[in-house]
Amino acid sequence: MAIPDFRNEPFTDFSQPENAEAMRHALESVRAEFDKTYPLLIGGERITTEQTIASRNPAKPDEVVGRTASATVELANRAIAAATESFATWRQVAPEERAQYIFKAAAELRRRKFEMAAWLVYEVSKSWAEADGDVAEAIDFCEFYAREMLRLAGPQPVYQLPGERDELHYIPLGAGVSIPPWNFACAIMVGITVAPIVAGNTVVLKPASTAPIIAAKFVEILEQVGLPPGVVNYLPGPGSSVGDALVDHPQTRFIAFTGSKEVGLRIFERAARHQPGQKWLKRTVLEMGGKDTIVVDETADLDVAADGVVSSAFGFQGQKCSACSRVVAVEQVYDDLLAKVVERTQKITVSDPSQPDTFMGAVIDEKAFDKIRSYIDIGKKEGQLVLGGETHGEGYFVSPTIFSNIAPEAKLSQEEIFGPVLAFMKASNYDDALDIANNTEYGLTGGVFTRDTDRMDRARNEFHVGNLYFNRKITGAMVGAHPFGGFNMSGTDSKAGGPDYLLLFLQAKSIAEKV
């Protein structure tokens, strides 16, 4: 059967009564499943443990969305052994057949789109639209990587030497570990799991401890579409012990990680150490933090710029690696832009995201809540609090917060806060603005609002970010159109959702035959 061209999964229009009704219904039925316990899955075997991980609703922390078993180092070793054993047969399965499992998973995700979105509303406090976007991206990753595998299957074009038949084939790496963050708890978790699998590898999936239930649901889907046992293994557990054990294991062939700079660096270092009995250099795909900047010059349409800033800074409570946390405006427009951003931000609703009109829910957990509050205190010393700074409600709610007059070297300008805190900085001109934009150790996303095409060209050359946007928001990268990944301390620039991505989970075998 011919496979249609890739197209992005459309977002749900919740202004349509039938969609709003379907979402309300999904929220109710998911709620009825709260507080269930999900076992580990190792080599097809369900394993319960004495210790469990409780996943709480950040908007109502007393509410337990679900619990999972919690792995130990011994179980981590078993999971790598199971993935290694399954690799022997999975690597022999034809790429076309592997792709079919992932197409079926996409279809199942699409069928259960509202339900999966509802889990995200409760588990990570996403608004309806953010949750829907997260699931749509997960579907996109499945559809895109399955097609990519079909493209990379079979012999690749190489130069033919006279008297020889010369071939190049991509083959999988082995058994590896996928470690997603909680913030795109569906999309990134699905992406870094299905990409290695469709490429012929086997995976131990260690979900984030604040978002393990959505991962359990996806693993159920993979089982339901008939993925053979051991190809995916579900292993929630503490990052510090279980994460280290998975990374250190001599039979681990690759690690696909998305998360903070600190953990990324730790994995990079540990994975580089040769362990007794280890036969390879571990492949690491490490996507890390950001401190993302929007530059606004005096030629920009300030209303469009203010819209772009507000949605980039405060969507999902600023907890996107791509979120705008710094605005650098040239002095001629600084005050006007700030006023427009403040005016729009004042209209943002912060409340329980199970309600349809909520724009911002709660931040993920108490640790994040405390960290954000401590940066708000720092901001009060480093600049002027213009808006927000409050916390409220029974959950981890932080109002959208704006500081002005932040210096380029200030903590608020340099350190990733990962919350709804935006720093305004003044530049004397466009040159100065670009210098400030490049002055962090990160290089993930960046945006420029300008009408000057020469300045756009300068940003094309000089703004050192993996994902650059002009005259639009800097969040919401679309699979296929905006391959995603950053420079410098933002990681290995793996470009998720792009044409190079599957190669990270493959190795090339060159074969020459004398004829």
Positions touching ligand NAD (CB under 6 A) are: 179-184, 188, 206, 208-209, 239-240, 243-244, 247, 258-260, 263, 266-267, 287-290, 321, 416, 418, 444, 484-486, 490-491
As a whole number of angstroms, the distance between CA 107 and CA 373 comes to 41
As a whole number of angstroms, the distance between CA 293 and CA 313 comes to 10
In the complex with ligand NAD, the residue whose CB is nearer, 181 or 308, is 181
- The answer to whether residues 242 and 206 touch, using CB atoms and an 8 Å cutoff, is yes
> Which position among 142, 186, 321, 324 bears the catalytic label?
321
Closest approach of Cβ 323 to ligand NAD, in Å? 8
Closest approach of Cβ 40 to ligand NAD, in Å? 15
Nearest to 287 by CA among 139, 507, 488, 499: 488
95-111 helix and 113-124 helix, angle to the nearest 10 degrees: 70
β-bridge mates for residue 234, sequence order: 41, 205
Closest approach of Cβ 258 to ligand NAD, in Å? 5
As a whole number of angstroms, the distance between CA 216 and CA 57 comes to 16
In the complex with ligand NAD, the residue whose CB is nearer, 319 or 404, is 319
Angle at 47 (CA atoms; ends 46, 49), nearest 5 degrees: 155
In the complex with ligand NAD, the residue whose CB is nearer, 240 or 332, is 240
Nearest to 389 by CA among 425, 345, 336: 345
In the complex with ligand NAD, the residue whose CB is nearer, 118 or 489, is 489
> Which position among 115, 123, 287, 416 bears the catalytic label?
287
As a whole number of angstroms, the distance between CA 362 and CA 364 comes to 6
In the complex with ligand NAD, the residue whose CB is nearer, 243 or 408, is 243
> Burial, 446: exposed, middle or buried (Cβ in 10 Å; 0-12, 13-18, 19+)?
buried
Closest approach of Cβ 3 to ligand NAD, in Å? 27
The amino acid present at 491, given as its one-letter code, is: G
Closest approach of Cβ 515 to ligand NAD, in Å? 46
Angle at 116 (CA atoms; ends 114, 120), nearest 5 degrees: 110
Stated as kind and residue range, the H or E segment containing 285 is strand 283-287
DSSP assignment letter at 315: G
Q: What is the DSSP secondary-structure string of 208-219?
A: -TTSHHHHHHHH
In the complex with ligand NAD, the residue whose CB is nearer, 288 or 337, is 288
In the complex with ligand NAD, the residue whose CB is nearer, 128 or 442, is 442
As a whole number of angstroms, the distance between CA 385 and CA 401 comes to 8
As a whole number of angstroms, the distance between CA 146 and CA 149 comes to 5
Catalytic-residue membership of 186: no
In the complex with ligand NAD, the residue whose CB is nearer, 100 or 445, is 445
Closest approach of Cβ 420 to ligand NAD, in Å? 14
Would you state the structure tokens that stand for residue 477, as one six-digit string?
């990268």
- The answer to whether residues 470 and 447 touch, using CB atoms and an 8 Å cutoff, is yes
As a whole number of angstroms, the distance between CA 137 and CA 412 comes to 30
Closest approach of Cβ 264 to ligand NAD, in Å? 7
The amino acid present at 279, given as its one-letter code, is: K
DSSP assignment letter at 11: P
Closest approach of Cβ 289 to ligand NAD, in Å? 3
Task: Please give the positions annotated as active site.
Answer: 287, 321
